């Protein structure tokens, strides 16, 4: 025998069951212009937090054979302003400041006394394309030890000759594949590819691998975040 329900009560039941769907309306908050930016900012922040949790210091980015390399001529030249800020190499140095025992100006030949690492890694652009390049340079972790950096500091910020700026979390800075890169394809960096010094960070998205470095600061407080982050992109963006 099926249960009998009075039709008025049936309508009431249906209305109540419909109302139980109201939690779904909460997503409508994303459609409210005043709330949208802050909600999306929090969402991006959560994604960054998850990314930091997923980062493993010992896990290496895949490396590739010579046959897999993208030909140098097809390695895109990217910039946000000019592709050659006209650095005078004789006068160039990397100015190191912040939580370090030996702040000051470091010349390229000083950086080149550190062991040179060469690696074939994938460079991924936020746009979705990627190339496999050959990068050479000193481990950033070796350089940080050379300048007596406080490795318990959380961040590293860099400034560039074209006024670009970026920052890294210390765990990524200390990763064995993070390089102060001064070579590409076994040749000194060309001007358009970031000479004399750029970051090569195979565990990060392309825009964090700043070119034409001029300043490096070890800091506990992130005062300068990054050019693209300030436009609304992710900060951590680990791959």
Partner 1 sequence: MSDAVVEIVRPVAKAKGEEAATEELMVVGRAIYEHPLPVRICHWLNAISLFVMAGSGLQIFRAFPSFGAKIPQKDLIDWPRSLAIGGWLGGALQWHLTFMWIYIATGLVYIGYEIFSRNYRQVLFTRKDIPGVWPMVKHYFFFGPKPPAREAYNPLQKHAYTTTIVLGFLSVVTGFAVWKPVQFSWLAWLMGGFHWARLWHFLVMWAILAFVFGHLVMVILHGWNNFVSMLTGWKKNPDYE
Angle, alpha carbons 92-135-202 (nearest 5°):
105
Report if residue 18 touches partner 1, rule: CB under 8 A.
yes
x/- track of binding to partner 1 for residues 111-130 (CB under 8 A): -----------x-xxxxxxx
Report if residue 86 touches partner 1, rule: CB under 8 A.
no
Shortest Å, Cβ 185 to partner 1: 15
Supply φ then ψ for residue 180, to 5 degrees. Answer: -85, 100
Report if residue 104 touches partner 1, rule: CB under 8 A.
no
Nearer to partner 1, 114 or 225 (CB): 225
Report if residue 55 touches partner 1, rule: CB under 8 A.
yes
Nearer to partner 1, 71 or 115 (CB): 71
Shortest Å, Cβ 158 to partner 1: 21
Beta bridge partners of 137: 117, 181
Determine contact, residues 130/191, Cβ cutoff 8 Å: no
Q: How far apart are CA 233 and CA 154, in angstroms?
A: 20
x/- track of binding to partner 1 for residues 189-218 (CB under 8 A): -------------xx---------------
> How big is the site for partner 1, counted in residues (CB under 8 A)?
56
What b/e readout covers 91-103, taking b as 16+ CB neighbours within 10 angstroms?
ebbbebebbbeeb
Read out DSSP for 214-234? EEEEEESS-----HHHHHT--
Q: For partner 1, which residue of 32, 56, 187, 195 counts as binding (CB under 8 A)?
A: 56
Nearer to partner 1, 98 or 202 (CB): 202
H or E segment to which residue 8 belongs: helix 7-19
Nearer to partner 1, 6 or 186 (CB): 6
Report if residue 54 touches partner 1, rule: CB under 8 A.
yes
Report if residue 69 touches partner 1, rule: CB under 8 A.
no
CB atoms within 10 A of CB 170: 20
The CA–CA distances, whole Å, from 203 to 4, 40, 192, 194 equal: 64, 24, 23, 19
Report if residue 17 touches partner 1, rule: CB under 8 A.
yes
Q: Residue for token digits 């390049």? A: 133
Binding region for partner 1 (CB under 8 A):
2-7, 10, 13-15, 17-18, 20-21, 23-24, 27, 30, 39-44, 46-47, 51, 54-56, 59, 61-62, 70, 73-76, 122, 124-131, 202-203, 228, 231-234, 238-239
């Amino acid at each position: 025998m099926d249960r009998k329900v009075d039709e008025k009560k049936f309508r009431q039941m249906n209305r109540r069951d419909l109302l139980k769907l109201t939690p779904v309306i909460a997503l409508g908050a994303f459609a409210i212009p005043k709330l949208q930016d802050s909600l999306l900012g929090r969402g991006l922040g959560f994604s960054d937090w998850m990314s930091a949790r997923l980062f493993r210091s010992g896990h290496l980015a895949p490396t590739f054979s010579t046959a897999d390399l993208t030909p140098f001529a097809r390695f895109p030249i990217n910039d946000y302003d000019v592709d050659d800020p006209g650095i005078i190499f004789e006068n160039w140095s990397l100015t190191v400041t912040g939580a370090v025992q030996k702040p000051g100006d470091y010349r390229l030949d000083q950086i080149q006394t550190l062991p040179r690492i060469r690696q074939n890694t994938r460079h991924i652009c936020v746009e979705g394309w990627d190339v496999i390049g050959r990068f050479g340079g000193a481990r950033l972790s070796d350089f940080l030890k050379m300048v007596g950096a406080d490795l318990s500091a959380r961040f590293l910020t860099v400034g560039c000759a074209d006024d670009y700026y970026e920052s890294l979390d210390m765990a990524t800075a200390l990763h064995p594949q993070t390089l102060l890169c001064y070579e590409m394809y076994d040749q000194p960096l060309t001007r358009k590819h970031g000479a004399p010094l750029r970051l090569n960070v195979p565990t990060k998205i392309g825009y964090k691998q700043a070119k034409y470095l001029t300043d490096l600061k070890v800091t506990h407080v992130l005062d300068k975040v990054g050019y693209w982050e300030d436009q609304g992109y992710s900060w951590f963006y680990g791959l």
